[in-house]
Amino acid sequence: MQQIGDQHRSVASASSTAIAGVEPAAQLPARLRAGGKRVLIILKHTWVLHHSNMVRLVAALIVALVLAAGFQARGGIAQNAQAIGDLLAGRFAQAGLGIEEIAITGQVMTEESDIAIALGIDETTNIFNFDVEAARQRLLEMPAISDVRLRKIYPSQLVVEVKEVAPIARWRVDGVTFVIDAAGVQIADATTADDNLPLIIGDGAADDAQIIIQALEEFPVLKQGLLATSRIGDRRWDLVYDTGLRVQLPEAGLGAALQTLNSAQNEQQLLDRDLVLIDMRVAGLMALRLAERKE
């Protein structure tokens, strides 16, 4: 019994010594030493399972910070978003994806420089952000263009296929000559390439050009040597020939007057006579004025 009591006292004494003192590190539980490693393991598992969402979150935070800083510096998020977009577009251009070649076909009256301006391409434009439909609408607003097709050819080419309005005449007014369409709309400035088109002269001539041009198409003989058709008082027409002869047509009954003149030319070669004026303004009458002869 004395031996057992001594053993109990020894255990109690050892326990008291452990509580009062500091126990050696080797005797501490192992799980208390692995706290840092456990955090790393948890982070690794989280990264493997959710790395996509984490990347998006970080990217969103960065963009938000950039925009917030820009908002204070420049006064608006929209402006900074535009600036960021331009920067990215510029990088696309630097990477060889900018529009480096524009192939334009079908244009005759429209200047290539005007088409290029309407396309709206600048240093931030690339093959991806170029708005084909918006550019097409701008081109269709040009008077000489009736239709247009735009095609992107990657990585850096733009093809512009133009269809132009058919011109019917040259219109001279106030000393300037334009090319016009059937509706009388000015298409472009006339050039020597348009000399084959009929020439009409005077205020209001463009609006009624289609009428006189179609009427004369029925009488080819009257078009021979015809220099111009002049609109008088925005009411009637005069035919002006290269010989200096002027034919005054009536305000009403244009078709009948042209038929009468056509018959006179076929039967009597009236337009080839030495005349300076044929007055047909009164229905049923034809007054002639001879050219003055110098003795």
The secondary structure element, H or E, covering residue 232 is strand 226-232
- Among 80-84, 133-137, 164-168, 192-196, the range scoring the smallest mean pLDDT is 80-84
Whose CA is closest to 167, among 180, 148, 178?
180
Whose CA is closest to 200, among 165, 238, 164?
238
Q: Which pLDDT score is estimated for 262?
A: 97
Q: Which pLDDT score is estimated for 39?
A: 52
Number of domains into which the chain is organized: 2
173 and 281 co-located in one domain: yes
CATH number of the CATH domain containing 268: 3.40.50
Residue 145 and residue 175 in contact, taking contact as beta carbons nearer than 8 Å? no
Q: Tokens 């009591």 appear where?
A: 5
Q: How do residues 96-131 score in pLDDT, each as one tens digit?
A: 557 889 999 999 889 999 999 999 998 888 888 899
159 and 209 co-located in one domain: no
How many helices (H) and strands (E) would you count in the chain?
8, 12
279: domain range?
Answer: 169-290
Is residue 229 assigned to a domain? yes
Looking at 164, 194, 221, which one is the last position of a domain?
Answer: 164
Averaged pLDDT for residues 49-78: 54
**Partners of residue 74 on adjacent β-strands:** none
pLDDT at residue 14 greater than cutoff 60: no
Averaged pLDDT for residues 74-90: 49
Q: How do residues 226-240 score in pLDDT, each as one tens digit?
A: 999 999 999 999 999
Three-state DSSP at 10 gives helix
Is residue 206 assigned to a domain? yes
Handedness of CA 212, 217, 219, 220 (dihedral sign): positive
CA dist 223 and 221 (Å) reads: 5
Residue 218 and residue 207 in contact, taking contact as beta carbons nearer than 8 Å? no
Here the tokens at position 98 are 């900018």
Q: Which pLDDT score is estimated for 154?
A: 87
Q: How do residues 139-153 score in pLDDT, each as one tens digit?
A: 999 999 999 999 999
Looking at 117, 132, 164, which one is the last position of a domain?
Answer: 164
178 and 106 co-located in one domain: no
Is residue 265 assigned to a domain? yes
